[in-house]
Amino acid sequence: MAGIRSVLVGLDGSAHSLVALRWAGWCAAATGADLHVAHAWQQGPPLDGALGAGIADAADLEAAVERRLRQLAAAELRDPGAVAGARALRGEVPTALTREAARLDAGLVVVGARGAGNALRALLGSTASRLTECPVRAVAVVPDDAEVPPRSGAGLLVGVDGSTGASRAVRWAAAVARAARRPVVAVHAFEPGVPDLTPEEGESLLGEARLRLDEEWVAPLRARGVEHRTVVEPGDPRDVLPRVADAERPAGVVVGSRGLGPISQRLLGSVTHHLLRTLAWPTVVIPAPRDCVVWSP
């Protein structure tokens, strides 16, 4: 993967989707990607109640929606030329956005996290939840209170645990960070998984994890010449990643999907979805290997 060629953001005119638009605009500009905006609706008037008033022809309605999308994006990004394309889509929102991303071969789909902040952050929006349950493309979920645009010099933070999913996340982060000229912090939450360890045994396993992280797991960052450093902290990744992210204030957090379907995720629990509900930073979920290829071999 040579970086992101196009970014697709779902826009419905709400405050949370406008935050997602600003982050997507920053990401596209930083990586040299084309920015596309789309609005999908299944029932009710598109974007706002006034937009469809008096328009009976479907083609005219779609054209009006696309004009409105461009106007919203230009006003929010303060750049009339920021958007490469705008599309009005009919149908269930997650499905429509997924199909549009496939049409564009988008390297990233961006949506807002409805209800982010305090107790409401636990209520992940239905579109964000559906797109990240078993993603077929990289999906970024942007909280309402995210720093947009990210602070100067902010890089990516990627969760690393030696799994195939985490390896894909590292490779995606390496490609994007190189294109954006941003650093990467690779974080490993150390959980030995072995009960009743002696202090010496625990230190030995911790040292082995650090060695594998530095020499093996972040190899794609080294190969692409990306500035990076590693962090190993004992604890559950649900606790470690938010703590490190809050200290680092990254432009985005990148995690790999395990490829579990929605039923398995609910039965077994999902670190990824816990992070999506709790992180105060834009979070990118990378598809599991069985879903699709996210970089060029």
CATH of the domain at 49: 3.40.50.620
Upper half-sphere CA count for residue 36 (Cβ side, 13 Å): 22
Q: Does any domain span residue 273? A: no
* pLDDT of 125: 59
Sequence letter at residue 17 = S
- The answer to whether residues 69 and 39 touch, using CB atoms and an 8 Å cutoff, is yes
Helices (H), 154-198: 164-180
- Please indicate, yes or no, whether residues 28 and 127 belong to a single structural domain of this protein: yes
Span between the terminal Cα atoms of the chain, in Å? 8
Same domain, yes or no: 129 and 180: no
Q: Does residue 263 belong to any structural domain of this protein?
A: no
In a domain, 228, yes or no: yes
Among residues 115, 143, 171, the one where a domain terminates is: 143
Number of domains in the chain: 2
Whether residues 133 and 67 share a domain: the answer is: yes
Residue where the block lists tokens 């956005």: 97
CA gap 201, 155 in Å, rounded: 34
Let me know if residue 286 belongs to a domain: no
Q: Are 15 and 130 contained in the same domain?
A: yes
User: What distance in Å separates the CA atoms of residue 177 and residue 171, rounded to the nearest whole number?
Assistant: 10
Token pair recorded at residue 10:
């779902």
Q: Is 115 found in the same domain as 202?
A: no
Q: What is the structure's pLDDT at 116?
A: 36
Annotate 41-70 with DSSP letters as a single string: ESSS-SSSTTTTTT---HHHHHHHHHHHHH
Q: Which domain holds residue 192?
A: 156-258
**The whole model's pTM is what?**
0.86
- The 10 Å CB-count burial string (b at 16+, else e) for 117-130 is eeeebeebbebbbb
114, 143, 172 - which closes a domain: 143
Max CA separation in the chain (angstroms): 75
Which ranges of the chain have pLDDT less than 70?
1-3, 43-45, 48-57, 115-125, 134, 192-194, 196, 202, 258-269, 289-297
On whether both 14 and 106 belong to a single domain, the answer is yes
Same-domain pairing of 12 and 111:
yes
Rounded to an integer, what distance in angstroms lies between the CA atom of residue 78 and that of residue 236? Answer: 41
How high is the pLDDT of residue 294? 40
Q: Which of 235, 190, 195 has the alpha carbon at shortest distance from 217?
A: 190
**Are 93 and 182 contained in the same domain?**
no
Is residue 283, in this structure, part of any structural domain at all? Answer: no
Which pLDDT does position 49 carry in this prediction?
57
Q: Give the C-alpha separation, 260 to 134, whole Å.
A: 6
Q: Are residues 121 and 20 in the same domain?
A: yes
130 plus 201 within the same structural domain: no
Same domain, 16 and 137: yes
CA distance 24 to 287: 19
Asked if residue 93 is part of any domain, the answer here is: yes
Residue 120 CB contacts under 8 Å (≥ 6 apart), including other chains: none
Domain-embedded: residue 75: yes
Q: Note whether residue 42 is domain-resident.
A: yes
Which contiguous run of DSSP H or E holds residue 240?
helix 237-248
Domain C-terminal end among 120, 143, 166: 143
Q: Are residues 55 and 114 in the same domain?
A: yes
Tell me what pLDDT residue 273 has: 81
pLDDT of residue 194: 65
Do the Cβ atoms of 110 and 24 come closer than 8 Å?
A: yes
* Cis amide prior to 149 (ω within 30 degrees): yes
